[in-house]
Chains A and B, each alone.
Chain A
Amino acid sequence: MAAVQELQDLVTQVRRDILRMVHKVNSGHPGGSLGCTEFIVALYNEVMELKEGFDMDGKDEDLFFLSNGHISPVFYSVLARRGYFPVEELSTFRLINSRLQGHPTTHEGLPGVRIASGSLGQGMSVAIGAAQAKKLNKDSNLVYSLHGDGELQEGQNWEAIMYASGNKVDNLIATIDLNGQQIDGSTDDVLPMGDLRAKFEAFGWDVLDIKEGNNLEAILKGMKEAKSRTGKGKPVCVLLHTIMGNGVDFMMYTHAWHGKAPSDEQLENALEQNPVTLGDY
């Protein structure tokens, strides 16, 4: 197991990547990316069982699907730093002829990406399909997915949520990034989500909370628990309580940085709060 400090160093470096990527092209989504940095770093470097290299079918390894594709900066940075593609390529984010499109896609052949996402609400269905394929293939590895909380306003999710429990898709761990924010404001202001735990439970899922969703140790403990609940006839939902914009004080606790890049000055300030650990791309 990687020491938590090693993971923390990676988190800090990924944060720098995110900030520098969106700053360079003056576009992209830093808020949700920063809020999920600890989670995706933990997933790819501790939680998931991964093979070396990348193939689309991903047999005999765990799979991850990012449904809220707009947090592509954190996904790309973690993939690159896990070795899926050269870290230098992060500098091409959102530029013409890049494999690092604004939202993730398989279209340009970027290793690590298995589905296009961006138009919201589709990832859970895809994850269920991949989980069902694993069962058919007698592959005991798991499927992980990540969804925004606001994203659950898309109706397709509830079709998928109903299907997964009805069909005992118990090799799936779907995590909801519960940051309480979406583009136009808080989820409470835009469209109240109600009690998500009660909703998932009513749909027949096994639900657990990770209350400190930006705390690596809490994430590791929570995901270990989530894993232990797979294979028991129910899909598993993790409610990951995060802070949007985590790690950059002026980006935290607000929806303002959902889809906005920092200025030169703001970038400098943000990077000072996250000093280089592994080296910038």
Chain B
Amino acid sequence: MTKYVDQGKNDTRSGYGAAMTELGRTNSDVVALCADLVGSLKIQPFIDENPDRFFQIGIAEANMMGIAAGLTIGGKIPFTGTFANFSTGRVYDQIRQSIAYSGKNVKICASHAGITLGEDGATHQILEDIGMMKMLPGMVVINPCDFNQTKAATLAIAEYEGPVYLRFGRPKVANFTPVDQKFEIGKALMLNEGTDVTIIATGHLVWESLIAAENLEKQGIAAEVINIHTIKPLDKDAVLKSVKKTGCVVTAEEHNYLGGLGESIARVLATEHPTPQEFIATQDTFGESGTPAQLMEKYGLNNKAIEKAVLKVMKRK
């Protein structure tokens, strides 16, 4: 199987911060907004170098979304920054009317997504955001898997005209995708070719899927691993091509199974190529306090859970 090396654990939010520093230097239209979480979003270097292009909104996320929409009128490219929970659930109607329906070129950049936010607990761990955002007509939804990919995605969305939801996380995780990779919105990445099962993963679950695939290889199972960093628009050709070969699929995401990546895949398969599918996702539940690793274990979001799901789905072929 294709070997992936962890170049050193890092957090995806730092990938966002690094890209913002770069955008600050290369794209004078880019402006950053933040609702009192500069440190968490890692954007201090952008602020230091571009104080006029930074808007500290305070703890007022609804206002932030509206101001971002307004800033596009005049040609700016606003990147909003706060936790995923406060980037979506708290401000759904503001995003819906002032950004999505109004077709504004706002980049909603959301850190601390999912259960791996950890100790702060369920009030801060949103597991519904992908669903909310993908339901908005015209909204692009991206969930990169590591530092390098988050950086590349952040640079790419600045070049894309239209509203984008970019979701990333808090914990330091394996950084295994290439430095300076080209990020193509809506293009799935084949990480490992296999013939027995397709594992389609997004975000932090991509690395877990690669570990699972390695373990499965030892059992003689050749798992194909696809990194779907863009949940909407979905690269359905990549999905169909793979499942036509393997005949079964496991989807893996740090999100509720209702509304997430798994459902998007299931919709494609149900209409175009019905295929047995298992869902690695939270089971319609809130999270709780704990370390990221403990929570991933308890809520069935790690490589062991993926491995089990693979064995199960292969029996259903």
Binding site for B on A (CB under 8 A): 56-59, 63, 65, 105-107, 114-119, 121-134, 136-137, 139, 155-156, 159-160, 162-163, 166-167
In the complex, the answer to whether A57 meets B75 with C-beta atoms within 8 Å is yes
Shortest CB–CB separation between residue A136 and chain B, in angstroms?
7
Interface 9-mer from B90-98, B187-195, B248-256? B90-98
Residue ID in chain A nearest B96 by CB atoms: A119
Bitwise interface map of B from 77 to 116 toward A, beta carbon under 8 Å scored 1, else 0: 0100000000000000110111001111000000000000
A58 and B70 contact, Cβ closer than 8 Å, known pairs A116-B98, A116-B102, A156-B63: no
A132 and B70 contact, Cβ closer than 8 Å, known pairs A137-B75, A155-B62, A163-B60: yes
Taking the complex as formed, is B122 at the interface, i.e. its CB lies under 8 A from any CB of chain A?
no
A123 CA to B67 CA, complexed, in Å: 9
In the complex, the answer to whether B74 meets A139 with C-beta atoms within 8 Å is yes
In the complex, the answer to whether B98 meets A133 with C-beta atoms within 8 Å is no
A160 CA to B60 CA, complexed, in Å: 8
Taking the complex as formed, is B73 at the interface, i.e. its CB lies under 8 A from any CB of chain A?
yes
A163 CA to B96 CA, complexed, in Å: 22
Residue ID in chain A nearest B53 by CB atoms: A136
In the complex, the answer to whether B53 meets A129 with C-beta atoms within 8 Å is no
A156 and B66 contact, Cβ closer than 8 Å, known pairs A56-B73, A119-B93, A129-B73: yes
Bitwise interface map of B from 32 to 62 toward A, beta carbon under 8 Å scored 1, else 0: 0000000000000000000011010110101
Shortest CB–CB separation between residue B72 and chain A, in angstroms?
8
A-B contact count (CB 8 A): 121
A56 CA to B53 CA, complexed, in Å: 21
Binding site for A on B (CB under 8 A): 31, 52-53, 55, 57-58, 60, 62-76, 78, 93-94, 96-98, 101-104
| Interface pairs A-B: 7 shortest CB-CB | A129-B70, A125-B66, A133-B74, A159-B60, A159-B63, A129-B67, A130-B70
A133 and B70 contact, Cβ closer than 8 Å, known pairs A117-B97, A118-B97, A119-B97: yes
Shortest CB–CB separation between residue B315 and chain A, in angstroms?
48
A and B contact pairs by CB, cutoff 8 A, 25 listed: A56-B73, A57-B75, A58-B74, A105-B101, A106-B102, A106-B103, A114-B73, A118-B97, A122-B93, A125-B62, A125-B94, A126-B98, A127-B70, A128-B66, A128-B70, A129-B68, A129-B71, A130-B73, A133-B76, A136-B31, A136-B53, A155-B62, A156-B63, A162-B58, A163-B67
Residue ID in chain B nearest A133 by CB atoms: B74
In the complex, the answer to whether B57 meets A130 with C-beta atoms within 8 Å is no
Shortest CB–CB separation between residue A170 and chain B, in angstroms?
16
Chain B contact residues, majority secondary structure:
helix
Residue ID in chain A nearest B74 by CB atoms: A133
In the complex, the answer to whether B97 meets A163 with C-beta atoms within 8 Å is no
CB contacts (< 8 Å) of B76 on chain A: these are 133, 136
CB contacts (< 8 Å) of A118 on chain B: these are 97
Residue ID in chain A nearest B71 by CB atoms: A129
CB contacts (< 8 Å) of B63 on chain A: these are 125, 128, 156, 159-160, 163
Shortest CB–CB separation between residue B8 and chain A, in angstroms?
37
A122 CA to B98 CA, complexed, in Å: 7
In the complex, the answer to whether A57 meets B66 with C-beta atoms within 8 Å is no
Residue ID in chain A nearest B31 by CB atoms: A136
CB contacts (< 8 Å) of B103 on chain A: these are 106-107
CB contacts (< 8 Å) of A107 on chain B: these are 101-103
A10 CA to B104 CA, complexed, in Å: 33
Shortest CB–CB separation between residue B107 and chain A, in angstroms?
14
CB contacts (< 8 Å) of B101 on chain A: these are 105-107, 116
CB contacts (< 8 Å) of B67 on chain A: these are 125-126, 128-129, 132, 160, 163
A125 and B73 contact, Cβ closer than 8 Å, known pairs A107-B103, A163-B60: no
- Starting from the known contacts A129-B68, A129-B72, A156-B62, 18 additional A-B residue pairs (CB-CB under 8 Å) come to A105-B102, A106-B103, A116-B101, A119-B97, A122-B62, A122-B66, A129-B73, A129-B78, A131-B70, A132-B67, A132-B71, A133-B75, A134-B74, A136-B52, A159-B60, A162-B58, A163-B57, A163-B63
